[in-house]
Each structure stands twice: as C-alpha cells, then as structure tokens.
A and B are shown apart, each in its own frame.
Chain A
Amino acid sequence: GAVVSQHPSRVICKSGTSVKIECRSLDFQATTMFWYRQFPKKSLMLMATSNEGSKATYEQGVEKDKFLINHASLTLSTLTVTSAHPEDSSFYICSATSGILRPEAFFGQGTRLTVV
C-alpha cells in the first residue's frame, strides 16, 4: 500500500502552547487529506477534510480557530492545535487519498498528544 508519514508520533506540551502535526504522502500525490482524533476505546472522529490549495472543511462542532489545517502541497498537510488544553489530549491521525486515481485512503501512524 501507499505510505503516509505522520510526525511527531508522540508529543507532550504545556497547556497554552501550540503544537504542529505534519502529515506527508511519500509515494503519491494526495489531493485530499483527512484529520481524525480518537479517544481511548472510542471510534475515529473526523475533524476536517482538506483539499490541496483550498480551505479545510470542518465537521460540525470542531473549532476552526483551535485546529488550524493547512494543505499547501499535494504531499503535505499540517494540523496545528492552538492554545492546547488537557482536554485536547488525544490520538490524532491523518489519512490521504489521491482521489479518483486511487480512492482508498491510507493512514499515517498517528500522533499521541498529551497536554500537561
């Protein structure tokens, strides 16, 4: 399968600081990337959909100003958690698809964020 690399895999930050998570498609051009969060023993929750060169589409209830998403190129999307708080601690996962050429989505390794 295709390779999607997510970095960092783990991060601990202080409350009030911002954290940036990168998601890269290594061997294909990702026209669409998705960002999810997952709490322990819970389902994946889609946060937003990002298409290269355009603004992200956020799911209902997800704060746009808190979770900043940028998809500046066909191989890179970033999620920035701004002014992080302990309740933002979660497992964040990206996925990428090349759309009609290859509609199946491949997931990054995930980032475990802990806000202290």
Chain B
Amino acid sequence: QKEVEQNSGPLSVPEGAIASLNCTYSDRGSQSFFWYRQYSGKSPELIMFIYSNGDKEDGRFTAQLNKASQYVSLLIRDSQPSDSATYLCAVTRGSNYKLTFGKGTLLTVNP
C-alpha cells in the first residue's frame, strides 16, 4: 500500500471553477500535511500546510483535513490558467520533518 496516494489526473476544470484535489495517507501517525505546487521544470512551491482537523483557508485555497478518514484535500476557488501545474500532497511524521510525497495530480485549467 502506497503511503500517500493521489489521483494522477489529469484533472481538467474550466477557468473560474473550483478545482478539488484529494489525497489519502496510510500512516495514522502522520502529523503535518502539506500541499505543494510544481510547474513543469521547476521546483515545488509550498501552498499550504495544515495540522488540525477541519478547514484552513488562504486566499483562493482551502485545505481540509480529516484524520479519522486519513484524508486531506485542497480546494482552489476561481481557478485560473496560471494554476495549471502538478499538485503534490506531502505528510510528515515525527521530529525528522521528512516529507513523504504523493505522486502528484496534474491540474489543467482551461481558459
């Protein structure tokens, strides 16, 4: 069983729509959860992190965490073509802060 799973996509949404990206993790001891965005040929860029159950909003982005279901999601409101990228879900456990990544979901926002 993979530790962090994401639908590889591609996920295609029209401009202005809400994009919903999902991630599940297998280790119940996971403590911190991160969403990174990676444009083709570039390094990952941190979008959001969440530690507690519930929602966390930052601008057009909302991260949702449900530890009971071992599920974390990222919603992007008013999607823009510039949001087209691969979105990486990552988790950490313990004090070594080592990120375990999912394989990423490719999002395409169509003008």
By a beta-carbon cutoff of 8 Å, the part of chain A in contact with chain B is 1, 6, 32, 34, 43-44, 46, 49, 91, 93, 95, 97, 99-100, 103-110
Question: Does A99 lie within 8 Å of B97, measured CB to CB?
Answer: yes
Binding site for A on B (CB under 8 A): 32, 34, 36, 41-46, 49, 88, 92, 95-99, 101, 103-104
Do A100 and B43 contact each other (CB < 8 Å), given the known contacts A43-B101, A44-B101?
no
A43 and B96 contact, CB distance less than 8 A? no
- The reply to whether A100 and B95 contact each other, CB–CB distance below 8 Å, is yes
A54, B96: Cα distance in complex, Å: 14
Q: How far is the CA of A107 from the CA of B103 in the complex (A)?
A: 17
B44 CB contact (under 8 Å) in A6, A44, A46: A44
CA distance A83 to B44 in the complex (A): 28
Residue among B32, B41, B43 with max Cβ neighbours from chain A (10 Å): B43
